Structure 1
Amino acid sequence: MTVETLEAAGLRRMDDDNIGAFLSNQRVGVLGLPTESGPYMIPLSFGYDGDSALYFTFVGGSASRKQQLTEAAADATVLVYKVESMFHWESVLLQGSIEAVPESEWDDLAGVLDTAWRPELFRDAIEDGDITVYRFHIDEREGLRHAGLPPGFEPE
């Protein structure tokens, strides 16, 4: 089934403004990093700069598999989604590249990084641990949403 086929049932493509608004209101997604055996998927909290980048932190240092894969990745994918019901959901798929942000820039990013959601466990680890801040440059974006009931289910 194609997106065009599903549009008859209420699926809509999101334009850049809708995608930006969606990313501005979300704080978690899934980062997909390439490996020889397929993508390595990582749940992720992020801050969005309102334009062309997501920012996130990893705790644990260079021994972490996710950090090793991130450092080695030329390209990556981020999926951000929100599901309220089977008839009301949104998803944005981002393609881009990742780079470590030099510590000298962290203070300038405090406003963006502070918007990232983190479980309390990770907040404590960030204060005590070895962290790295990453920038995900958004090169391509695609968003889809379904809001409402499909044809034939609307009330009379």
Structure 2
Amino acid sequence: MSVDELQDYGLAEMDDGEIRSFLSTQKMGVLGLPEDGGPYLLPLSFGYDGDSRLYFTYLLGSRSRKETMSEAADDASFLVYKVDTMYNWQSVLLSGTISAVHESGWDDLEEILSDVWRPDLFETATLSGEIKVYEFRIDDWTGIKHQGLPPALESNDE
């Protein structure tokens, strides 16, 4: 079924303002990078600039697949979703490009990245690795939501 057909059951497309608001309140999503045989998917926390960019902090090992794939990617996708119940959820799919941010620009991103969720492992483990910040430039987005019971299940109090 298409989104249009599902509107009869309470599904709605999100407008740009709703998408911006949703991205501003979320901190986790799934990055999809192109790879032969299907996308390479990474759950990542992110910071959002309130307009057209997301930022990711990568903790890199000596041979980082996500770094190699991010550097090679011409295009990428990012999915952010929130499910409260089967009748109350939101989903936003972003498409765009990803690139490393030069270390000299990291200070400008401090506020955006300050409240990004990170696994406790990043804070407490003694890790030998490099950190890089990546920018996801949003070229296109689409969002859908379902909030409330489908019309067929709503009670008729007449």
Q: What is the TM-score of this pair, normalised by structure 1?
A: 0.95
CA distance, structure 2, for counterparts of residue 126 and residue 34 of structure 1: 31
1:66-99 residue CA offsets vs partner (Å, 9 max, x unmatched): 1111111010000000000110000000000001
Pairwise mapping of residues 57-76 of structure 1 onto structure 2 (< 5 A)? 57-61=57-61, 63-76=63-76
Maintained 8 Å contact 2:71/2:99: yes
SS of 1:106 mapped into structure 2:
helix
Maintained 8 Å contact 1:100/1:135: yes
Q: How many pairs does the alignment contain?
A: 156
CA distance, structure 2, for counterparts of residue 125 and residue 133 of structure 1: 20
Tell me which moved more, 58-67 or 117-126: 117-126
1:31-70 residue CA offsets vs partner (Å, 9 max, x unmatched): 0000011100000000000000000011014611111111
Equivalence for 2:17:
17
Following superposition, the deviation at residue 122 of structure 1 comes to 1.9
Pairwise mapping of residues 1-156 of structure 1 onto structure 2 (< 5 A)? 1-61=1-61, 63-124=63-124, 129-156=129-156
CA distance, structure 1, for counterparts of residue 7 and residue 112 of structure 2: 34
Mark the CA change 1:112 to 1:61 in structure 2 (over 3 Å): closer, same or farther.
Answer: same
- The one-letter amino acid of 1:108's match is D
SS of 1:92 mapped into structure 2:
strand
SS of 1:83 mapped into structure 2:
strand
Q: What stretches of structure 2 of length at least 5 have no aligned partner?
A: none
Following superposition, the deviation at residue 151 of structure 1 comes to 1.9
Following superposition, the deviation at residue 12 of structure 1 comes to 0.6
SS of 1:118 mapped into structure 2:
coil
SS of 2:9 mapped into structure 1:
coil
CA RMSD of aligned residues (A): 1.5
Maintained 8 Å contact 1:62/1:68: no
SS of 2:153 mapped into structure 1:
coil
Tell me which moved more, 46-55 or 128-137: 128-137
% identity of equivalent residues: 56
Following superposition, the deviation at residue 128 of structure 1 comes to 6.0
Q: What stretches of structure 1 of length at least 5 have no aligned partner?
A: none
